[in-house]
Amino acid sequence: MNKENIVFLTGGSAGLGKATAELLMQNGYTVYSASRRLAERQEDPSSQGKIIPLQMDVTDIPSITAAVSAIMEKEGRIDILICNAGNGIAGAIEETSPEEAKFQFETNFFGTVNVVHEVLPIMRKQKSGKIITTSSVAGFIPIPYQGFYSASKAAVKIFSQTLSIEMKQFNVQCCCVLPGDAKTEFTQSRKFTQASQSPESAYTKKREKAVSIMAHDEQNGMRPIEISRAILSQIRKKKMSIVSIPGAKYKLISFAFRLVPNRFMLYVVDKLYS
């Protein structure tokens, strides 16, 4: 087992984060699993891996500082950071208030920024480390009625790529993982903007249709373990990919959308959610 096996993971209490923490534990990693809702402590006797829960909110910098300090006090290093915490808010752009848009970015984008900021000095001094950020296929395909979710995930992708350039000199690698539809608690926990719930909304019919299609695709999407395996595969690589898209279907979609004109791409997306 590689000695560089101390993992700091956010959003670890459910969904993709939970699946990833458990898979890494089963492969001998020590995973500090941080979330607002405390995860379960686990140990795998055969691999000697473990999950150590930490209560933390990625939008609360003091709680991040405390979590990182606890890991460093116990382990003296952080080898792998996986920024996975996120949420989704649905509603037309017109019906999303600035406060609601900021709420979306606070977790998905600035939550990632906050955690990375705390860990970068450690990895820079170690002259080693791997950082995995979780974006989404929605980060390059604009999803109607989840525009701010798409925008926040696009921001994570660019942030990760820029970080990859800057941290190369310190032997710190960065990989942005872009999952497609996945069967997780994300569907049930999706929030809706206040204005979108008004009986007078001009977008109700198309929004409800689009979100119902999203929910169907999510509940029939990839299993979290499939995405977790892609993350483990990147961690094990000597040189991680800059961007990783789990699943042959989504790799093909990504390739196809890069070839077609933007106007045609938007036409296809509109038809998919209509």
What distance in Å separates the CA atoms of residue 21 and residue 32, rounded to the nearest whole number? 8
Residue 192 makes CB contacts below 8 A (sequence gap 6+) with 89, 90, 91
Please tell me which residue in 18, 130, 153, 157 is annotated as part of the active site: 153
Place of tokens 């992708």: 157
Catalytic residue flag (residue 149): yes
Containing H/E element for 172?
Answer: strand 172-177
Please tell me which residue in 29, 32, 149, 203 is annotated as part of the active site: 149
Please tell me which residue in 13, 136, 150, 160 is annotated as part of the active site: 13
Residue 122 makes CB contacts below 8 A (sequence gap 6+) with 68, 72, 77, 78, 129
DSSP secondary structure letters along 111-125: HHHHHHHHHHHHHHH
Q: Is-contact 241 234, C-beta < 8 A?
A: yes
Catalytic residue flag (residue 135): yes
Catalytic residue flag (residue 273): no
Cα torsion 200, 210, 244, 31 to 10°: value is 70
Residue 1 burial (10 A CB sphere; 0-12, 13-18, 19+): exposed
Please tell me which residue in 33, 135, 150, 244 is annotated as part of the active site: 135
Catalytic residue flag (residue 153): yes
What count of residues does the chain have?
274
Containing H/E element for 173?
Answer: strand 172-177
Active site residues: 13, 135, 149, 153
